[in-house]
Amino acid sequence: MKKILYHLILINLIVIFTGCSSNEKPVIVQEEMNGTEQESAKLIEESNEKDSEEPQMMIEFMLEEEQLTINLDKIPILKNYLSQIENRKDAIDQMKINKLDIESTESIYLLGFAGSENMYSYLLLDPTDAGRSFLLTDRAKFLKISQSPDNKKLLFYFERTVKNQPWKTNKIVVLDLLNWESNKLINNADHNNIALNQFKWPILNIKWTDNESVSTTVPSIKHATKDELTKWINSEQSTKQVEFFIANE
């Protein structure tokens, strides 16, 4: 499983699809339901008798109030993952999908796949005609999402368990909703060893300060080494506030 996930991360995808031909299915098809269906997921393969190409692969998610059909041919990272899994049914049954109601934009979906020990790889899906997708992280637990005051950015907060250690590490991803690109977060020189985009530090809390900056609460240590984190976890666990700013690139 780790080998498969590593291969997927190497792909380093931000897949942006800008429309489909009349013969192709869109990335996501939404259909309202009456709310009585049991939540489920299944793989569907459709073939065209006149077409010698491989059948189209789709995942159908039955949610409480809607049915989602995801065209895997438009999301290579998911198709590649499933192609390497022997038991696809189990892999799909373990997937988690949540609708994120975001102000100032259409609803988007957070899909967790490749689940193991309550951790998933997370893919953000855009059901609009743009059909965009964005791989947020691998092997993590999703904690929360927070929208910037101007509603133009999303902050995703993830957690990862550290094997045989009492602390957990965190990762922050900030997504620009206009272009679906991640924003780099930087801080001043006094704290430039703290990287929010990697699972290196315990990030105990994070919140927006304004549209271009966030405030974090982290352990009051110099470096997130095993020795320093062990001393911190066995002490009073003092913390410090560190401000991060969105880099203008």
Domain boundaries in the chain? 1-138, 148-249
- What is the structure's pLDDT at 15? 41
Residue 111 and residue 207: Cα distance in Å, rounded?
23
- Which residue has better confidence, 107 or 110? 110
Residue 146: pLDDT band (50, 70, 90) is very high
Residue 87 and residue 2: Cα distance in Å, rounded?
16
Is 70's pLDDT higher than 80?
yes
pTM: 0.84
Residue 155 CB-density burial (10 A; 0-12 exposed, 13-18 middle, 19+ buried)? buried
Highest mean pLDDT among 44-48, 71-75, 157-161: 157-161
Residue 18: pLDDT band (50, 70, 90) is very low
What is the rounded average pLDDT for all residues in the chain? 85
Residues 6+ apart with CB under 8 A from 104: 151, 152, 177
Residue corresponding to tokens 């947020």: 136
